[in-house]
Amino acid sequence: MRIAVSRYPVGSPASFEEFAARQALVLGEAAAAGARIAVLPEYLSLELAASFGRPIFSDLCASLVAIQQYRQRWLELFSGRARELDMHVVAGSFLLDGGNGRFRNRCDWLTPQGLHLWQDKLQLTGFEKNTGIIDPGDVLKVFEIDGIRIGVAICYDSEFPLPVRRQYEAGARLLIVPSCTDTAAGAMRVRIGCLARALENRMFVAQSVTAGLAEWSPALDTNTGEAAIYAPMDVGFPSDGVLAQTDGQQLWAYADLDFAAFEASRKRAQVANDRDWQSQLQPALAHAVVTCVD
């Protein structure tokens, strides 16, 4: 299975049609390279706020309200691309109106068969909490795609081991991480989260990112990091855990994931964090013994 993860330069489309035309080009490039899954970044939908003019795009709440009128067209766009390209499209995330002036950060997954799958962000960043209008999700999912079980952890969610562990226990061997970070520290936190989840669960992790400056947007202002596909740091994989990564102005990074070989590699693993997980849960380790030395 070939997967493509994007380092997506944020634009400022003047209309939905302009946005759609760019997505056709971007996804067409991934499909031409043989990708079965293409992953776009978190907050992609906020790029559409630019089409409403400064009074709207300079105000986050107004932006979230405005982009709802594009929701159906958004789904139709990515669903159409998925069917036409015979490729799974992970359409970053859309800030979806949940009623009563509240929104959820939803990752939409559109399949070549015309299905719409989704996962909401579960853990909110300080920025999202401070908006006062974004709610966390309350359902953890795993999707089976071409016989492979896959989970989604949106950006900050990748930094929390227990929900991802539950996805692993439900059979997930690939974790998709659409992300958006505005500082080098933030980009590093998500990167380390991805590497840690790959190590402790012995799974592949695929991260997309936003890139460039979008000073017109209060949420997409500055964007950092590289898109990458990660594996455990073990026999048969790169010592730094990075299978592929964008470089410079590169839009997509690609990796071919052989899940059968991956499962077979467990037998010769140097470490077995995935199988040793339960040993950290023994009762004797439930509390630390404090020793005071005067």
The per-residue pLDDT for range 119-154, each reduced to its tens digit, is 999 999 999 999 999 999 999 999 999 999 999 999
Give the total residue count for the chain. 294
pTM equals 0.96
Q: Which of 16-20, 106-110, 207-211, 266-270 has the lowest mean pLDDT?
A: 266-270
99/96 Cα distance (integer angstroms):
9
Q: Rounded to an integer, what distance in angstroms lies between the CA atom of residue 38 and that of residue 26?
A: 10
Residues 148-164 as b or e (16 or more Cβ within 10 Å = b):
bbbbbbbbbbbbeeeeb
CA-based nearest residue to 43, from 85, 77, 6: 6
Confidence at residue 62, expressed as pLDDT on a 0 to 100 scale? 96
Residue that is written with structure tokens 């067209």 in the block? 73
227: number of Cβ within 10 Å: 28
**CA 105 to CA 128: how far, in whole Å?**
9
Q: Could you say which DSSP state residue 112 is in? A: T
Integer Cα distance of 288 and 97 in angstroms: 44
For residue 264, with 0-12 CB atoms within 10 Å meaning exposed, 13-18 middle and 19 or more buried, which class applies? exposed
Strands 134-135 and 204-213, bridge-based pairing:
unpaired
Return the pLDDT at 113: 97
- Tokens encoding 112: 């070549």
Q: What is the pLDDT of residues 160-209, one digit of tens each?
A: 999 999 999 999 999 999 999 999 999 999 999 999 999 999 999 999 99
Q: For helices 161-169 and 184-201, what crossing angle results, to 10°? A: 40
Alpha-helical (H) ranges within 86-226 are 126-131, 161-169, 184-201
Looking at residues 258-280, what average pLDDT do you find?
A: 87
* pLDDT of amino acid 104: 97
d(CA 2, CA 145): 13
Q: What's residue 276's pLDDT?
A: 84
> 109: which 2 tokens?
């997954």
Strand partners, 177: 207
Residue 24: is its pLDDT beyond 90? yes
